[in-house]
A = this chain, B = another copy of it.
Amino acid sequence: MLGAREVVSDSSTAEILLAAADCFMERGYTATSVDDVARRLGATKGRIYHHFPSKADLFAGVFEYGMDLICVVIEPYRNMPGPAAERWTQLALAHTKHMMRAKTLARVVWEGVEMHLRGARTPEQRLVLDGLVKYRNSYSNIFRETIVQAREEGDFHFEDPAITVQSMFMALNAPIFWYVPRPGEDEENIESIARQVVTFVYRGLTGKGELDL
C-alpha cells in the first residue's frame, strides 16, 4: 500500500498529531511554538516532548500521518482497469476531495515540501525532510505514470511530463488555500468544487488547441 508506515500507534499520540496539524496550518511551522500545540491540547509541553524528541520530529509525524491518509484514499483507484484517462479522473477526484476534507493535514504536507525546496537548514533536519519528500514523490509518481499512459493511449496531450504534473497538482491542490468548510452544506459543496477543478485540469490535459499569438 505504498509504504504507509502506521505512525499513529496510540490515541494519545494521534491527539497530539491532530492538534499539531491545526497549529501548523494556522501559523506555519516556524511561527508555531511547542507551547502553542500544548495549549491547544489543554496540556503543557512535557506531554509533547514525552512522545516526540523535537519539534521537527513532531512536524515529520504530522507529515507522515497526512501522507498515510491520502494514500489510503486513492488506493481503490490505483490499479483500476480500463483507460488511463478514466483512472486519472477517479484519482484526481478522490485527491481533490480529500484536499478539502483533510485541508489541515494537506497544508502541513505542502509546507513540508516547500521547506524541502527551500534547501537550507541543518543536515539532520535535511535528512528527515528528504525521507518525507521521497514519500510524497512516490505519491505524485502514481499520477505521473497515469497521465503518461493516457498520452500513449491518445487521450491526453502535453509535452514535458514534469511540467505537466506540477501544473496539474497545483491546480488540484488550490482548494487547500481558499476553501473554507461551511457547517451543514459541506459534502455537496465539496463535490461541486472538486468536479469543477478536476474538469478544468481534465480539459487542460485532453485539449489540443494551440495558443494563437
By a beta-carbon cutoff of 8 Å, the part of chain A in contact with chain B is 25-28, 30-31, 86, 89-90, 93, 114, 117-120, 158-160, 163-164, 166-168, 170-171, 173-175, 177-178, 193, 195-213
Copies of this chain, count: 2
Residue of B with least CB distance to A164: B200
A114 to B31 Cα, complex, angstroms: 13
Q: Across the interface, which residues of B come within 8 angstroms of A205, CB to CB?
A: 200, 203
The contact of A118 among B26, B171, B208, by CB within 8 Å, is B26
A173 to B170 Cα, complex, angstroms: 9
Q: Across the interface, which residues of B come within 8 angstroms of A170, CB to CB?
A: 170-171, 173-174, 177
Is the Cβ of B26 less than 8 Å from the Cβ of A120? yes
Q: Across the interface, which residues of B come within 8 angstroms of A207, CB to CB?
A: 202-204, 206-207, 209
